[in-house]
């Protein structure tokens, strides 16, 4: 059986992290999630810096990205990823509370692969996260560089 | 938008022109000096044989006295000029006596001087009015620029506010809902009926607040969104909306009637929202009827205005509360009787107002309701 590529979750709100992990756990995807709690950590993971210096040299299968983040915000991370030859292939899903059109437009302009507004209803939230996890980490064929570990 | 108040004290202050800035003494001294200078110049030129310059010099002195000194100075200058002209240049010289043969010449001189001074006065007043008008315009423009800037700032603040609601208010709500749900699934075996209901209420209310926030945001977006006006077919918009409503209400035997509707000028997606809201209301409030009927038509059609209506035979409403219908989150039916947050008609009103129209309703308890909205002829510039 395939071992899933890791899911990088960049989210500063610990409660959102908990709810997201709970949702992913229903599909046994939680173990493969790496959590970065601010924008800087997210970039550290992608660039093998700081506490992620020693991590395995593989891109995440998918990046779940909040927009409003401490230090470096989601749009800036998105911009850096999509303008870096080594990283631009990573599928990025913006996972945000913001229903504002300008956030959505800005994200798509920067090349985001999907834009998901976190539903208030928990069942909807679980379903959205599950589907995201399953689609991007299981169904979707990842690009070269973020191959699944076998 | 409020009308611009024209600060009356400002415009009064601006009327202080050369006339008011000069004191009484200065104005008359100016007249005396002008005439004296003209006289001096005339005498000097006469001394060298230039006689033709005399009359124009006095006229010039009177004119500039009139221009800068006002009517009083003008009269003084004309009188002084006449006297000086008479004394020094009208034979017999060096007396104020005028020979009968010279009288017409002197009278013409005096009248001509008076006339030129009078014209100078009129011309000066016109100039002053123009200057005042220009100053006023500039001040109004400045005020307008100030207000535009203030409006832009408040729009930006409003946007930031809506953004903050969108993002920051929803997060805790999601957590309430999420963790209450987790609690329910974890503690279900240990909860009695009452506690289970409490948890259910917490969840339902969290979700309701989520809908309220979403509705409020959508409503505020309508007010801020730029409208794109074009020629549209109201008929087509209504047909599409009816088609959608039919699908949503499948299984119900609603009788639909749609009259012929005109082409109009407006924002297509916004007017679509108006029609959809009114029609879905009609569908909603006829849900208790065994033979529901919904009619959409045009009750008035003029060159510059059209009135459309959506009529149903549903539960209706008490006309006493008709003013409340279009308020944000105002409902005339108890929570739970009919679904919805109460934003629909507020949205309708906002859009119709943006189209230069108004919206009103007629109804009777258990006797159906008719919602009217008018649309004004808008031009492309709007």
pLDDT in tens, A105-133: 999 999 999 898 888 888 888 888 888 87
Whether B206 has its CB under 8 Å from any CB of chain A: the answer is yes
Chain A closest-CA separation from residue B167 CA (Å): 5
Please give the Cα distance from B125 to B118 (Å, whole number). Answer: 11
Q: For residue B66, what are its two tokens?
A: 């009139």
Residue A134 clears pLDDT 80, i.e. is over it: no
Q: How far is CA A115 from CA A91, A118, A132, A139, B91, in A?
A: 11, 10, 11, 18, 104
Chain A closest-CA separation from residue B348 CA (Å): 21
* Collapsed DSSP state (helix, strand, coil) of residue A94: strand
Strand partners, B294: B256, B312
Q: Please tell me the pTM assigned to this model.
A: 0.60
Residue with the bigger pLDDT between B141 and A86: it is B141
Q: For residue B40, what are its two tokens?
A: 């001096």
Give me the residues of B, 26-65, that contact A with CB < 8 A. Answer: none
Is the Cα torsion angle B187, B189, B194, B196 positive or negative in sign? positive
Chain A closest-CA separation from residue B166 CA (Å): 6
Q: For A21, which residue in chain B has the nearest alpha carbon?
A: B178
Quote the pLDDT of residue B197. 93
Please give the Cα distance from A67 to A59 (Å, whole number). Answer: 20
Please give the Cα distance from B91 to B108 (Å, whole number). Answer: 15
Chain B closest-CA separation from residue A55 CA (Å): 32
> Could you give all domains of chain A from N- to C-terminal order, each with its CATH number?
7-103+112-139 (3.40.50.2300)
Whether A107 has its CB under 8 Å from any CB of chain B: the answer is no
Mean pLDDT by 10 residues, chain B (382 residues): 44 47 83 92 88 87 87 88 87 83 85 88 90 94 93 82 75 89 88 91 88 82 81 92 86 88 90 92 90 91 90 90 83 77 88 91 91 81 41
* Collapsed DSSP state (helix, strand, coil) of residue A67: coil
Quote the pLDDT of residue B104. 87
Quote the pLDDT of residue B41. 92
Give me the residues of A, 4-23, that contact B with CB < 8 A. Answer: 13, 15-16, 19, 22
Quote the pLDDT of residue B21. 65
Using an 8 Å CB-CB cutoff, list chain A residues near B221: 101
Cis peptide leading into residue A129 (ω within 30°): no
Radius of gyration from C-alpha coordinates of chain A: 14
What's the pLDDT tens digit per position in B194-219? 999 999 999 988 888 888 888 888 88
Work out the pLDDT band at A142, boundaries 50, 70, 90.
low
Q: For B161, which residue in chain A has the nearest alpha carbon?
A: A100
Chain B closest-CA separation from residue A99 CA (Å): 6
Q: How far is CA A100 from CA A60, B96, B225, in A?
A: 28, 92, 12
Using an 8 Å CB-CB cutoff, list chain A residues near B178: 15, 19, 22, 122, 125
Going by their DSSP bridges, the two strands B369-376 and B359-363 should be labelled as: antiparallel
Whether A120 has its CB under 8 Å from any CB of chain B: the answer is yes
Please give the Cα distance from B38 to B60 (Å, whole number). Answer: 8
B175 with A15: Cβ contact below 8 A: yes
Is the Cα torsion angle B22, B23, B24, B27 positive or negative in sign? negative
Interface contacts A/B by beta carbons within 8 Å = 60
Interface test with A, best of B172, B175, B178 (most A CBs within 10 A): B178
Whether B205 has its CB under 8 Å from any CB of chain A: the answer is no
Q: Taking the CA of residue B12 as centre, how many other CA atoms within 13 Å lie in the half-sphere pointing to its CB?
A: 3
Quote the pLDDT of residue B307. 94
Quote the pLDDT of residue A143. 63
Whether A25 has its CB under 8 Å from any CB of chain B: the answer is no
B182 with A16: Cβ contact below 8 A: no
Whether B203 has its CB under 8 Å from any CB of chain A: the answer is yes
Identify whether the C-beta of residue B329 lies closer than 8 Å to the C-beta of residue B212.
Answer: yes
Helix (H) or strand (E) holding A64: strand A62-65
Identify whether the C-beta of residue B166 lies closer than 8 Å to the C-beta of residue A100.
Answer: yes
Contacts of B11-16 with CB under 8 Å at 24 or more apart are B11/B132, B11/B135, B11/B136, B11/B139, B14/B132, B14/B135, B14/B136, B14/B139, B15/B132
Whether B196 has its CB under 8 Å from any CB of chain A: the answer is no
Q: For residue B379, what are its two tokens?
A: 């031009």
**CB contact set of B147 (below 8 Å; sequence gap of 6+):** B4
Question: Which residue, among B71, B81, B67, has the nearest Cα to B33 in the 3D structure?
Answer: B81
Q: For B162, which residue in chain A has the nearest alpha carbon?
A: A100
């Amino acid at each position: 059986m395939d071992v899933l590529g890791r899911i990088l979750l960049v989210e500063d709100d610990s409660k959102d992290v908990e709810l997201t992990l709970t949702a992913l756990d229903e599909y046994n995807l939680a173990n493969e999630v790496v959590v970065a709690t601010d924008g800087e950590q997210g970039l550290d993971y992608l660039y093998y810096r700081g506490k992620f210096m020693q991590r395995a040299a593989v891109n995440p299968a998918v990046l779940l990205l909040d927009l409003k983040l401490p230090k470096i915000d989601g749009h800036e991370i998105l911009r850096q990823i999509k303008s870096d030859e080594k990283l631009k292939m990573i599928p990025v899903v913006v996972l945000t509370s913001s229903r504002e059109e300008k956030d959505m437009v800005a994200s798509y302009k920067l090349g985001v692969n999907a834009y998901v507004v976190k539903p208030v209803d928990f069942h909807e939230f679980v379903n959205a996260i599950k589907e995201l996890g399953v689609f991007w980490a299981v169904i979707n064929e990842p690009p070269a560089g973020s191959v699944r570990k076998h | 938008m409020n009308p611009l108040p024209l600060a009356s004290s400002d415009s009064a202050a601006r009327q202080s022109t050369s006339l008011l800035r000069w004191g009484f003494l200065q104005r008359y001294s100016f007249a005396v000096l002008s005439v004296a200078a003209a006289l001096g110049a005339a005498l000097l030129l006469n001394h060298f044989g230039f006689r033709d310059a005399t009359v124009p010099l006095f006229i010039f002195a009177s004119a500039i006295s009139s221009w800068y000194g006002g009517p009083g100075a003008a009269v003084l200058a004309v009188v002084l000029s006449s006297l000086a002209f008479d004394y020094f240049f009208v034979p017999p010289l060096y007396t104020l006596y005028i020979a009968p043969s010279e009288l017409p010449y002197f009278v013409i001189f005096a009248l001509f001087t008076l006339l030129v001074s009078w014209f100078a006065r009129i011309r000066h007043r016109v100039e002053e009015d123009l200057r005042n008008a220009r100053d006023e315009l500039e001040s109004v423009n400045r005020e307008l620029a100030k207000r535009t800037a203030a409006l832009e700032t408040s729009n930006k603040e409003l946007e930031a506010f809506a953004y903050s609601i969108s993002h920051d208010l929803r997060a805790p709500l999601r957590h309430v809902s999420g963790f209450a749900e987790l609690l329910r699934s974890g503690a279900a075996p240990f909860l009695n009926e009452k506690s289970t209901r409490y948890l259910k209420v917490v969840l339902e209310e969290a979700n309701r607040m989520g809908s309220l926030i979403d509705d409020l945001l959508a409503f505020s977006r309508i007010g801020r969104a730029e409208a794109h006006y074009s020629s549209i077919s109201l008929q087509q918009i209504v047909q599409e909306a009816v088609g959608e409503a039919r699908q949503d209400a499948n299984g119900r035997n609603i009788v639909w009637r749609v009259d012929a509707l005109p082409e109009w000028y407006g924002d297509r997606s916004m007017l679509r929202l108006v029609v959809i809201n009114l029609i879905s209301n009609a569908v909603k409030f006829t849900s208790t009827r065994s033979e529901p009927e919904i009619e959409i038509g045009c009750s008035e059609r003029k060159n510059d205005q059209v009135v459309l209506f959506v009529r149903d035979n549903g539960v209706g409403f008490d006309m006493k509360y008709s003013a409340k219908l279009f308020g944000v989150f105002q409902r005339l039916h108890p929570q739970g009787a009919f679904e919805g947050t109460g934003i629909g008609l507020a949205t309708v009103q906002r859009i119709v107002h943006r189209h230069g129209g108004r919206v009103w309703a007629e109804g009777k308890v258990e006797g159906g309701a008719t919602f009217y909205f008018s649309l004004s002829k808008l031009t492309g510039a709007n």
